[in-house]
Amino acid sequence: MENRKKVEVCHTPSLYPQYRKENQIVVVIDVLRATSAMCAAFDNGVKKIIPVATIEEARGYQEEGYIVAAERKGQIVEGFNLGNSPYGFMTGEFKDKTIVITTTNGTRAFHTARDADEVVIGSLLNLEALSQWLIEQDKDVLCLASGWKDKFCLEDTICAGAFVDSLIKSGKFTTDEDSSIAAKYLYLSARDNYMAFLKASSHRRRLKALNLNEDIKYCLTPNQTDVIPIRKENYLVLLEK
Ligand code: 3SL
């Protein structure tokens, strides 16, 4: 029993210092839509993703000739051709390419966890594959929800709760924090119909107002890929299994 590892949930990037520990794998989650878009990009052959925190950094890369995706307020930032929609990465034109990406919350959460031992990208899209890999690692796990501008958000919490549920079910993990127990119960309430559960959620309303319903449906459909994006230096690559 004492050998069981911990799986915990941190609800916003600003709370990260309270939850961080040595030797922990951090799962960065931004269901709508940054980490879903990253999973979709790797699933469609992208070779490397460089997440950057600011538009200025993104512009710098653009000037050097990189392909750059930039989102703010749910929309493509002026001067860029690519945003945060998973469908933007499914055209086949980015196979074997490197993409630089900046988003409102997801890339910020990635940088918040810069001191973590290991960082992987989680979403509902790779839930089963990533859960299985985490179970095999024999390390503590922290699910870091990106939230919205440092506020709690339902969709990331539900996804984090799904990871907590499947890791605990393996018998190899336990949890100490109320944040993790709450996430798990929200997941159990939502899992039969994510769309309906999240109907009134602030981010779903925000994206729906931008006519991004197809993105929402895609991002809320679990287990569409087995890719696991993993941090190497300051960028992401596909985990070789
Ligand atoms: O916050 C983010 O990183 C984005 O995913 C937000 S949005 O889905 O583009 O609105």
Residue range 46-83, pLDDT digits in tens: 999 999 999 999 999 999 999 999 999 999 999 999 99
Ligand 1 pocket test target in 12, 28, 32, 150 with most atoms within 8 Å of CB: 32
b/e map of 187-196 (b: 16 or more CB within 10 Å)?
beebeeebee
First to last CA, the chain: 29
pLDDT of 207: 84
Distance CA 71, CA 104 (A): 7
pTM for this prediction:
0.96
Pocket of ligand 1 (CB under 6 A): 30, 32-34, 71, 74, 84, 103-106, 146, 207
Mean pLDDT of the 190-197 span: 94
Mean pLDDT of the 150-161 span: 96
Question: Where residue 205 falls among pLDDT bands split at 50, 70, 90?
Answer: confident
Angle between helices 178-190 and 154-169 (to 10 degrees): 100
Question: Where residue 1 falls among pLDDT bands split at 50, 70, 90?
Answer: low
Ligand 1 pocket test target in 30, 54, 153 with most atoms within 8 Å of CB: 30
Q: Is residue 118 in some structural domain?
A: yes
pLDDT of 133: 98
Q: Is residue 237 in some structural domain?
A: no
Q: Is residue 240 in some structural domain?
A: no
Mean pLDDT of the 172-188 span: 98
What range defines the domain where residue 119 resides? 5-232
CA of 34 to the centre of ligand 1 (A): 6
Nearest CA to ligand 1 atom 7: 74
pLDDT of 204: 83
Q: Is residue 241 in some structural domain?
A: no
Q: Is residue 92 in some structural domain?
A: yes
Q: Is residue 238 in some structural domain?
A: no
Nearest to 124 by CA among 44, 191, 51, 199: 191
pLDDT of 208: 84
Q: Is residue 22 in some structural domain?
A: yes
Distance CA 132, CA 155 (A): 21
Q: The tokens 């030797």 sit on which residue?
A: 23
Q: Is residue 28 in some structural domain?
A: yes
CATH number at residue 26: 3.90.1560.10
The structural domain count of the chain equals 1
